[in-house]
Structure 1
């Protein structure tokens, strides 16, 4: 080997080890960055020794696609579970102490005590107070359900805004990848950035990533709607300022196509957006309908009639207001009356100390016993203190099967007590199933993350071992350089 050849070999070693050490150092510095994909200097040998031909990126497209799918499913499931947990909290937690079912049970007990002692003013007042607690619990629950819907609506608006921003950033990263690929540069950093954005997008709306020529990538939703193709597609949504039971939430549109909401306790939602739509437009409204059916049944059960043909009827113990604010009559529809649970209250004619402005008279709880709350009739015209026929009938009615709307998602031929309990059971079963599903999606995401990280992440032990190998190569180069230096000195000494 000539001295020139030896010098070229040493120079090749120094160039190669310099590039390798730079790549390894970069890997080590990003070992804790989950959005970084490991780089490797690809080395080949020639007559002049080893040299780096390219910087390779440990890209695993199949594992990435699996991770994106697992991420979208888990994001949707966790979002759904969060919404169900919010609805459960309305009922007072694990014991459901603030649920209408709990207050209905207490009211039935107080009504039983009153029918046992129909002459007791205290028993009458206790029954009326318990009825007020039932009405208040329905009011509060209805208000809270709409608050959950409004919160979901605000979250949707935030997610849509974030998604549009991410898609704009995705275009910049995608253009950088295409540019580097077309010019023969190193697109690794741009690929990392694009992949990071892709992960964030998939948690909001599930997407299928399609690779195309020159490093380009297009994004489609699972139902085929274009999300990104050369340019980002616009995602639109109009938020609502307030929510009532009558409010219909606006849809989310991607490139003009409406995004479907998720379905089921093991939700079909891909990403948080579809799950938020499911909470806002399916689960919460159905729970609201169940509250409304309880309220409607109470108004009907405790209404009063003069018994004539045709009969004159009017709300008795429980009254309500229509959406226009006018007093509502005795419900006759078989369907759900949206929002009746938000306006139900106890008739002022039985509230002690409350003056009815129409009559100028103070409320009397004994009117519940006599069936004369509305004024259309009086079942106890002689004022018998032991009269309990009406109380007996009302108590029996609370345990009698009623017809409820099937649109509320519960059995329609049960007593109001069972219906209220079934409503809690429906919510709890939904939440329990969603919890199990969330554990499964979380585990699937964890496994996908581990598998992807094992193939593309940085292993410090491996990098440090490689750094030692590079050090040995560098030492070999220095030995060659020292040998050439000694030879050159010898030649100079001979020449002099």
Structure 2
């Protein structure tokens, strides 16, 4: 070996170890950085004219496993979707049955039941008549508040859809830009790993909202497809389009066109009816659509069915006295007023009824009515006998009688197990209190089931994330061991240089 080759070998060794120490220090510094993948450099023998001439270092490589990353992304999207659904179901359950110290809908019904029974026993008591009015008003007001809560939940979901669409579009635009920067960096020999880290973070943003599959392209680019086969980006990004609603009412639906669909590749792509597209299915975006178009709608329909049941129970002349044209029973539809054909509401009349149900103003002194009408008939013109308990007793019977309710909910509902008043679909007769308690129980069961599904999906995500991190995360212990080896190799190469320097010095002295 000549002095020149020894000098070249030791110099390349010093350069390689300098590069290795740089990679180790970067790994250790970013050990806690979210989305950072450990870097490594491969060393290889440099050969010139069949003679070893030192060492070569490769460009930095990012640790990773494409299959593990794909599994983690799919489980993460599922976890996001289940989490959104579980949160909505829990909100609904808490609305209809708040915690201790707060009166539930069932409590309001029981209070009305108690007041009606007291009135049947003491029909002449003005105080008890006032209690009946207060309890009935409380029931109607609670149904109105719950209906408003259902629409608020749907509006929140609509707003969430708009935010998620914006987030996807921003992330896709950033990925398009990063694709170009990575290609340029690789072509010019620069380190592109930091750009790749950022691109993966942006891909994860999209994936939580719309599950994706990544496909590598020449030059370091990636193409993204949805699980439903829609192309999000392959060169140029494809944006989603959505118009946010300023308010949502009971009558607003995707089918009616009063709520916005999401446009993808120029076509409607909502996962809910009537579009029923699979293009954007699987992530938190689909879950938000389900909350807006199904979960919230079906909860509102349950409340409307309760309001329907109340109105129909108390608009029979045998229960509340004669009802003339333009008059109603104890509870009425504020938007319509008095009686319905055959004492039964049509499905169209039921939509939004919980938001409109009120107590007949004829029994409310504050609205020009009279409390005595709770005893004499809600539309009676003249006072009756003070001790006559005929109608109060009939109201008790009507309120407590087992009755089959009719539901406007479609039998092919996406959530049939938790959005019908009875497990068999409204074909079991129940009293008013029993019906409300059934709803509360079913809503709690639905919330618990959704939370269990979310917990399972979250556990699966944590497991796949842990498996991926075992491959991509920085092992600081290993990095420090490598650093000790690098230090020894650096010292050895430096020692070679010292020896060569000494030899050259001796030669110059001769």
- TM-score normalised over the length of structure 1: 0.89
- Shift of the 96–68 alpha-carbon distance from structure 1 to 2, 3 Å rule, reads farther
CA gap of 1:232–1:112, structure 2 versus 1, over 3 A, is same
Aligned counterpart, 2:131? 126
Instruction: Give yes or no for contact 2:318–2:394 (8 Å, CA) kept in 1.
Output: no
CA RMSD in angstroms, aligned pairs only: 2.4
Aligned to 1:259: 269
Alignment correspondent of 1:360: none
1:27-176 correspondence to structure 2 within 5 Å:
27-46=27-46, 47-95=52-100, 97-176=102-181
Identify if the C-alpha distance between structure 1 residues 164 and 107 changes in structure 2 by more than 3 Å, giving closer, same or farther: same
C-alpha distance after superposition, 1:49-98 (max 9, x if no partner): 33213322213111110111011111111112222232233235235944
Paired residue total = 473
Aligned pairs for 1:170-319 within 5 A: 170-181=175-186, 186-248=191-253, 249-261=259-271, 270-305=282-317, 312=324, 314-319=327-332
CA distance in 2, matches of 1:149, 1:98: 24
Local SS of the residue matching 1:244 = coil
Q: 1:392/1:134 Cα in 2 relative to 1: closer, same or farther (>3 Å)? A: same
The equivalent position to 1:327 in structure 2, one of 333, 337, 355, is 337
Q: Secondary structure at the match of 1:227?
A: strand
Q: Deviation digits for residues 161-206 of structure 1, max 9, x if unmatched?
A: 1111111101011223334455665432332221111111111111
Which structure 2 segments of 5+ residues have no match? 47-51, 254-258, 274-279, 410-418
Equivalent position SS for 1:156: helix
Say if 1:90 and 1:98, in contact at 8 Å, map to a contact too: no
Partner SS, residue 209 of structure 1: strand
Counterpart Cα distance in 2 of 1:481 and 1:229:
51
**SS state at 2:337 partner:** coil
Residue 469 (structure 2) pairs with residue 453 (structure 1): yes
**Bigger shift: 41-50 or 110-119?**
41-50
CA distance in 2, matches of 1:212, 1:481: 44
1:418 aligns to 2:434 (yes or no): yes
**Given the alignment of the two structures, is residue 469 of structure 1 paired with residue 491 of structure 2, yes or no?**
no
Indicate how the Cα distance of structure 1 residues 269 and 387 shifts in structure 2: closer, same or farther if over 3 A, else same. farther
The Cα shift of 1:31 comes to 1.1
- Cα distance in 2 for partners of 1:98, 1:223 equals 45
- Whole-Å separation in 1 of the counterparts to 2:363 and 2:238: 61
Counterparts of 1:355 and 1:161 in 2: how far apart (Å)?
49
2:117/2:396 contact within 8 Å kept: yes
TM-score, normalised with respect to structure 2: 0.87
Distance 1:469 1:200 in 2: 39
Other-structure match for 1:400: 402
Separation in structure 1 between the aligned mates of residue 117 and residue 17 of structure 2, nearest angstrom: 90
Offset, 1:38: 1.3
